[in-house]
Every structure is written in structure tokens, then in C-alpha cells.
Amino acid sequence: METVLFPYTALPLRIFEPHLREMVAYCLEHDAPFGAVLIRAGSEVGDRNAEPHEIGTLARIGRMRRQPDGLIHLLALGEERFQIVRLIRDEAPYLKAQVRLWRDFEPLDWGEQQRYADQVAQQFREFLMLALDLGGLRVEEVELPRSPTALSFVIAGTLQLEIPLRQYLLELQDTLERLRLLQQTLEYLTNALATEIQPFNPEHWREYVHRN
């Protein structure tokens, strides 16, 4: 893939290559997830010669729609992360791998982590409402996961972050550190949005108004 899928988030995909359509057919037949991994080198995730990053996300096929020309539109639902143990290049027309689950470490202080997550959640709500307000949309409430780990992934998946940072956040096994990096990012983005909001100044528009 050319992007990063986080757990607890969704990603729309367009599948048109024959070998990837075969992979989708296999997943549907066996009710199995597929691996969503950022490609380090190579053209695509289905390229058997591609070099993927070590950490990816198991993706379950959600909604799917087939076009008459064979194009498949599907929604990939991020589940758990995994680490590639061994690449398997010759068993199928698409890249396969032996993997193991990749999970966050337990925190030293569960209470501290939860309190910090609640602060970041409120900061994200304020940022999201500000961003939507700039676009002319208003929401009364933003529901977010209570779990600090799930919250960190939902925020990371929602923000428009550079691909290397997204991959770094995916690979982190420290929930608190992921939340801290997202908190710093939210501060920067909120300040950037705030500079775009200028109070109404009638003097600025006086020259454009012609009174009869």
C-alpha cells in the first residue's frame, strides 16, 4: 500500500489488478483478513517483489461493490497490528507472509495513561469542531473511544499526517508516547487553524461597498 491503515479506522480502496482481485476472492471465501502494509520499495502491495515495512495492520473487508469492468470498491476495516516474520513470495500471485501480532506494552500507571488520554480526547474534539466550523459544519458532540490505545489510533487515522509519521505511530508500542506525539501535533494544527480565523473588520470591506 502507499498509505498506512490504523486499527479502529477504515480505508476505502480501489482494486483492479487481477492478482489483487484473486486475493479479495480468497479473503471472502475464507472470511479472512488481509495485510495492509506500507511498501518500502516496489510498486504495490500485490507485487511479489515488493519490500514492505515490517509492521502493518490486519484489514477486514467491510462494504464492497463490484463494477461491470471488474473494478472493486471496498472498505478496509483496520483490526490488529502485526509484525512480518517471514515473507512468502511464491505461493500465490500476491505477496504473502508469516506474521505475529504486534501490541502495545502495558503502561506503568493505568490511571495516568487514562487521565492523559482524556485530555488528548478533549483537545481533539476542540480541534475537530474548529476545523468543521471553518468548513461551515457544526457538530454538537464527538464520540471517541474510551480506551487510550484505541483513541490514539482513531486520532492518528483522522489527522492528515505525513506518511513517515503515520508509519512511526503505527510501529510504536507505547500508547502514552503515541498520545504525546499526537497531542503535540494537535497543538500545532490548532494554532495553524487559529491563524486562519480573522475577526470581522468592517473597515476592511468599506472600500468594496458603494452606497447610493
Q: What DSSP assignment string belongs to 44-55?
A: -TT-TT-EE-SE
**Which DSSP symbol is given to 70?**
S
Give residue 141's pLDDT band: very low, low, confident or very high (50, 70, 90): confident
The pLDDT, as a whole number, for residue 43 is 59
In this prediction, what percent of the chain has a pLDDT beyond 70? 88
Angle value at C-alpha 23, between 18 and 25, nearest 5 degrees: 95
Give residue 204's pLDDT band: very low, low, confident or very high (50, 70, 90): very low
Start-end of H helices in the chain: 18-30, 110-134, 148-158, 163-171, 175-196, 202-205
**What span, in angstroms and rounded, lies between the C-alpha atoms of 49 and 60?**
24
Average pLDDT, the chain: 87
- pLDDT top residue among 127 and 135: 127
- Domain end position, chosen among 58, 81, 101: 101
Q: Letter for the amino acid at 148?
A: P
- Domain end position, chosen among 101, 122, 149: 101
Contacts 24+ apart (CB under 8 A), 40-46: 44/1, 44/2, 44/17, 44/20, 45/1, 45/20, 45/94, 45/95, 46/17, 46/19, 46/20, 46/93, 46/94, 46/95
Give residue 125's pLDDT band: very low, low, confident or very high (50, 70, 90): very high
Lowest mean pLDDT among 8-12, 15-19, 95-99, 197-201: 197-201
Q: Is residue 17 located within the same domain as residue 74?
A: yes
pLDDT in tens, 1-25: 788 999 999 999 998 888 889 999 9
pLDDT in tens, 19-37: 889 999 999 999 999 999 9
pLDDT surpasses 50 at 200: no
The pLDDT, as a whole number, for residue 205 is 44
Q: Work out how many domains the chain is built from and give that number.
A: 2
Domain range for 149 is 110-196
**What span, in angstroms and rounded, lies between the C-alpha atoms of 22 and 60?**
15
Q: Residue 63: inside a domain, yes or no?
A: yes
pLDDT surpasses 90 at 60: yes
CB 7 within 8 A of CB 170: no
Name the residue among 182, 171, 189, 142 with its Cα closest to residue 38.
171
Q: Is residue 121 located within the same domain as residue 61?
A: no
pLDDT surpasses 80 at 70: yes
Q: Residue 174: inside a domain, yes or no?
A: yes
Q: Is residue 95 located within the same domain as residue 118?
A: no
Backbone angles phi, psi at 29, to 5 degrees: -65, -35
Q: Is residue 155 located within the same domain as residue 79?
A: no
Q: Is residue 141 located within the same domain as residue 159?
A: yes
**What span, in angstroms and rounded, lies between the C-alpha atoms of 43 and 17?**
12
- pLDDT top residue among 95 and 150: 150
Q: Residue 204: inside a domain, yes or no?
A: no
CATH for 174: 1.20.58.1480
- Domain end position, chosen among 101, 136, 160: 101
The pLDDT, as a whole number, for residue 84 is 97
Give residue 177's pLDDT band: very low, low, confident or very high (50, 70, 90): very high
The pLDDT, as a whole number, for residue 130 is 85
